[in-house]
A and B are shown apart, each in its own frame.
Chain A
């Protein structure tokens, strides 16, 4: 089965706190891609990062970092020193290697609320 689980429905933190959004995936494919997207209140989903299954190096981009661990089938997203502008719904997605045309399997999303 191909599946993405974001167990945290909603997270609320105070500005400047660090926060980690969890993503656990299931696939039998050895080749696959993982993604994170951000959906701010305006509604448009914004691509944040893509990771292929052969690259387990952690990625850092400013205050954002991603931890990919194949051993636990997880691709977690951490925001350091959160800001109010980080408030959004964040989606994790999987593109299994057996899927042509880049079909995506989506997690349910985690709503992140950053309080000033």
Chain B
């Protein structure tokens, strides 16, 4: 089974902090995605990566950056956390057939 693991299930951070959300997959997938999910807004794509050191902006990249130094790891970085970044963050790894395998999600609260 594909395993996608996000480093934290719940996280509370202060405004202005730099926040790292880590995601690791164990199936050697090339494509990995970061989404945020908010009530009434569905899933919105923040960034995706199609190879090591390669990244593309999604629909809402502002305030975020990403890092893909190794194929199995895709990190989302909140440069200076703000309260409007309080959300559920979902990492996905994409299989050869295009199906997305998700981590358990990180519920981030910025206070």
| CB pair B88 A104 closer than 8 Å | no
| CB pair B42 A109 closer than 8 Å | yes
12 A-B residue pairs with CB within 8 Å: A35-B98, A35-B99, A43-B104, A44-B102, A44-B103, A47-B101, A50-B97, A50-B99, A93-B100, A101-B56, A106-B43, A108-B42
| CB pair B98 A45 closer than 8 Å | no
Within 8 A of B (CB), among A43-92: 43-47, 50, 91
Residue tally, chain B, CB below 8 Å to A: 23
| Across-interface contacts of A44 in B (CB, < 8 A) | 102-105
Within 8 A of A (CB), among B51-85: 56
CB distance from A98 to the nearest CB of B (A): 13
Residues of chain A touching chain B, judged by Cβ–Cβ distance below 8 Å, are 33, 35, 37, 42-47, 50, 91, 93, 95, 100-104, 106-109
Q: A91 CA to B41 CA in the complex, in Å?
A: 12
CB distance from A44 to the nearest CB of B (A): 5
| CB pair A102 B104 closer than 8 Å | no
Q: Which of A42, A43, A91, A100 contacts B43 (CB 8 A)?
A: A91
Q: Which of B31, B42, B102, B105 contacts A107 (CB 8 A)?
A: B42
Q: Which of B40, B43, B94 contacts A102 (CB 8 A)?
A: B94
Is B20 an interface residue, CB under 8 A from the partner?
no
Residues of chain B touching chain A, judged by Cβ–Cβ distance below 8 Å, are 31, 33, 40, 42-43, 45, 48, 50, 56, 88, 90, 92, 94, 97-105, 107
Q: Helix, strand, loop or mixed for chain A's interface?
A: mixed
| Across-interface contacts of B98 in A (CB, < 8 A) | 33, 35, 50, 95, 102
| Across-interface contacts of B33 in A (CB, < 8 A) | 103
| CB pair A45 B31 closer than 8 Å | no
| CB pair B100 A101 closer than 8 Å | no
Closest B residue to A32 by beta carbon equals B98
| CB pair A101 B105 closer than 8 Å | no
Closest A residue to B40 by beta carbon equals A108
Q: A46 CA to B90 CA in the complex, in Å?
A: 12
Closest A residue to B92 by beta carbon equals A45
| Across-interface contacts of A50 in B (CB, < 8 A) | 97-99
